Structure 1
Amino acid sequence: MTHTAIDDGERVRAGSELAAFSRALYERGWMPGTAGNLSVRLPGGTALITASGRDKGDMTAEDMVVVRADTGEEAAPGPLRASAETTIHSAIYRTTDAGAVIHVHSPYATAVACRTGHRTHLNSLRIERFELLKGLGLDDPTRTEVPVFPNWPDVPRIAADVAGHLAATPHAPPALLITDHGITTWGRDLAQARNRLECLESICQLLLMAGPELPAEKERLNS
């Protein structure tokens, strides 16, 4: 199978699953309007991702775009454009064994990203002791540091930061925050990526409820 030869049955199945997860996350208020994006890895070095500019509460299997998993380039011309943040998904696929990626604007994680992020430097959110950390599949389920990336206007620059960090940090948690933007999680499939998202959104809610100070540590991004 080549990069562009995708089995129609597999594409429709994956597209239907993406649409169902998109609608469910929209109904929770985590993907308002056209915000957010989801993708799944397909055979043959490709991925299927939600199209740009589509209402996430009304998506169908036809509202998806096939892209190269390692670069984010569209695998074949068509009427739809891939999400503007496709390169971030491809950075994750290129540096991890993720089978699915979810990016949303869930309120508590986004608020934490606003409070811990920096405009020009990579920061990290230190999380310790929460029982919910067990849901992330960490080597050490008692603590982790979630990276908080600068929200560069040029999305490929964010993707380059993400790829560099993940390549240099093989035991990084399956999640990241983007300053003033939102949260991205990944897993072997959409269900696992969503479960990890739910755990981190709940942790962020608890952190905000616990007090005014968040356990952030500034870290300069390695170039």
Structure 2
Amino acid sequence: MSGAELAETAAGLYARGWLEGTAGNLSVRLPGDRALITASGVSKGKITAADVVEVGIADSRPVRAGAPRPSAETTIHTALYRLSPGSHAVVHAHPPYATAVAILAARRGAGTVTFTDFEIIKGLGLTDPSKVVVPVFENHAHVPRIAGDVTERLAADAPPVMLIGNHGATTWGPTLDIARNRMECLEALCRLTLLVDRAIP
């Protein structure tokens, strides 16, 4: 996976209105316990291969001196790579319906949101596609606290999607295409739930 491909995917999500301004970030795992991640403070509508940073998965720090500053959410990406060795891509975005559900869940103090009997659940690649319990993590200004919560709370059998209260959504998978597709599925689940006026547990 090249920086150009990462930038292309980011630009596509920006065009959908899911990466407003400079928000959101994408990463892919590289050989040798490293990852490529979008740089901080860069509009995903103008991102190029020069706007990605190579970081160590163990310490979340840039591998090369003088590199652009990596995304503020780098520690969440690297935590997911450490927890899920089979995952090779992470997408963090702010699609409107998933973000709305994350806000409602946070207001109600919900640690999870459950979706039941939606056909689109199949897109998450779960063993049982009839139901998915999506974890909701508390948002913190100090992002490593979110990464710490993910490390502590994310179960080994958790679905490859999560919400961050009052913030947005994160998905992961074996390829960047699959991680992006899972973001699309999560957004569809949240949109359908809100459209049919189901309660957010």
Question: Corresponding residue for 1:208?
Answer: 194
1:9-158 equivalences under 5 Å are 13-96=1-84, 97-117=86-106, 123-158=111-146
Amino acid at match of 1:181: H
* Partners of 2:187 and 2:177 in 1: CA distance: 15
Q: CA deviation at 1:122?
A: 6.3
Unaligned runs of 5+ in 1: 1-12, 217-223
**Equivalent residue for 1:161, pick from 149, 157, 174:** 149
CA deviations on 1:169-195 (whole Å, 9 max, x unpaired) are 111000110011000001111100011
Moved over 2 A (4+): none
Contact 1:185 1:197 in 2 (8 A): yes
Unaligned runs of 5+ in 2: none
Amino acid at match of 1:64: V
Amino acid at match of 1:196: R
CA RMSD for the aligned pairs? 1.4
Secondary structure of the corresponding residue to residue 162 of structure 1: helix
- Asked if residue 180 in structure 1 is aligned to residue 171 in structure 2, the reply is no
Aligned length: 200
> Against the structure 1 CA distance between its residues 94 and 126, is the aligned structure 2 distance closer, same or farther, given a 3 Å change threshold?
same
CA deviations on 1:84-127 (whole Å, 9 max, x unpaired) are 000000110000021000000110000000001259x6610011
Contact 2:99 2:169 in 1 (8 A): yes
Larger radius of gyration: 1
Q: CA deviation at 1:71?
A: 2.8
What TM-score, normalized to structure 1?
0.86
* Partners of 1:147 and 1:165 in 2: CA distance: 9
Contact 2:53 2:67 in 1 (8 A): no
Q: CA deviation at 1:58?
A: 0.6
Amino acid at match of 1:210: V
